[in-house]
């Protein structure tokens, strides 16, 4: 079982909250297929710690935990009333100029289903606003503001804009290879060399920041630097664009 040094993940901490930079491929809550999860290792650091929201297993970035029931309730109300701000970065296929594009499409989640779907009749309210952070030749770095918190919300809303997230095969995204970016890419001449591997092996989505009110009412923003693989992808796009 892989190990995670919880303290090394912390980007913000006070008497009430801990905000960490969740690594990819680690579940937020208990996962039947993997005994390792953030909720479990957080309690080894602080016995009363409890996660306040979820990130998909593959998604990296900012995740908030409360140190008490009161602190948990305070943040839960902010999520419910939309009194906080969440910002995600995603690398999507295609060159897009999103300037406050609002996607308001209800999402239906079927028990046991891997993917969600848009259902304007039975789906739950879901809203996301998108801005172009930086456009490259064939891809775009997008800044995403999810105003609600539905499962796979950003992923399916971007797919609805015909801009699926890179490597998100569940919603139409394709793997990205260096040969896709570099004009004069030469594969290894060594015949024993394995086939080219994608630059990133997961959905290219990162929870960048969370702005919320602490227990004393002051507003704070916790920011999570890019995970290594996400940072490498962005640098390669910048280099070859």
The per-residue pLDDT for 2 is 66
The per-residue pLDDT for 59 is 97
44 part of the active site: no
Residues (pLDDT < 70) of the chain are: 1-2, 186-193
- Residue identified by tokens 């001449």 is 189
So what CATH class is 6-239?
Answer: alpha beta
CA distance 93 to 138: 7
The per-residue pLDDT for 241 is 82
The per-residue pLDDT for 191 is 45
Whether the CB-CB separation of 92 and 142 falls below 8 Å is answered with yes
Pairing, β 205-213 against β 60-66: parallel
Beta strands in the chain (DSSP E): 10-13, 17-22, 50-51, 60-66, 85-93, 99-104, 107-108, 117-118, 127-135, 139-146, 205-213, 219-223
Using CA atoms, how far residue 28 sits from 62, 71, 175, in Å, is 11, 18, 25
CA distance 206 to 59: 6
3-state DSSP: the chain helix, strand, coil percent, rounded to 5?
A: 20, 30, 45
Q: Which residues contact 166 (CB under 8 A, 6 or more apart)?
A: 91, 92, 93, 139, 173, 174, 175, 176, 200, 203, 204, 233
The per-residue pLDDT for 116 is 97
The per-residue pLDDT for 1 is 46
Using CA atoms, how far residue 29 sits from 17, 50, 57, 159, 167, in Å, is 17, 10, 9, 26, 23
| Residue 61: DSSP 8-state | E
Which residues share a beta bridge with 19? Answer: 12, 64
Write down the catalytic residue from 5, 34, 44, 56.
Answer: 56
- Note the pLDDT tens digit of each residue in 164-186: 999 999 999 999 999 989 887 76
CA distance 225 to 11: 9
pTM here is 0.94
The per-residue pLDDT for 184 is 74
């Amino acid at each position: 079982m892989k190990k995670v040094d919880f303290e090394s993940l912390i980007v913000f901490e006070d008497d009430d909250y801990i905000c960490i930079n969740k690594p990819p491929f680690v579940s937020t809550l208990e996962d039947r297929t993997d005994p390792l999860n953030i909720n479990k290792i957080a309690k080894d650091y602080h016995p009363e710690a409890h996660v306040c929201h979820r990130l998909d297993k593959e998604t990296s970035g900012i995740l908030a935990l409360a140190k008490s029931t009161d602190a948990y309730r305070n943040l839960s109300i902010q999520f419910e009333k939309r009194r906080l701000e969440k910002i995600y970065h995603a690398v999507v296929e295609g060159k897009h100029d999103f300037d406050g594009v609002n996607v308001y499409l209800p999402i239906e989640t079927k028990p046991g289903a891997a993917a969600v779907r848009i259902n304007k009749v039975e789906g739950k309210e879901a809203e996301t606003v998108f801005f172009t952070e930086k456009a490259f030749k064939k891809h775009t770095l997008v800044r995403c503001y999810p105003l609600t918190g539905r499962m796979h919300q950003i992923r399916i809303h971007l797919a609805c804009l015909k801009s699926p997230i890179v490597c998100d095969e569940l919603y139409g995204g394709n793997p990205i290879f260096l040969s896709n970016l570099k004009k004069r890419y030469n594969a290894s001449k060594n015949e024993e060399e394995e086939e080219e591997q994608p630059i990133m092996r997961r959905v290219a989505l990162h929870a960048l920041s969370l702005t919320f009110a602490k227990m004393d009412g002051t507003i704070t923003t916790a920011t999570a630097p890019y995970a290594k693989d996400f940072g490498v992808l962005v640098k390669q796009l910048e280099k070859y664009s």
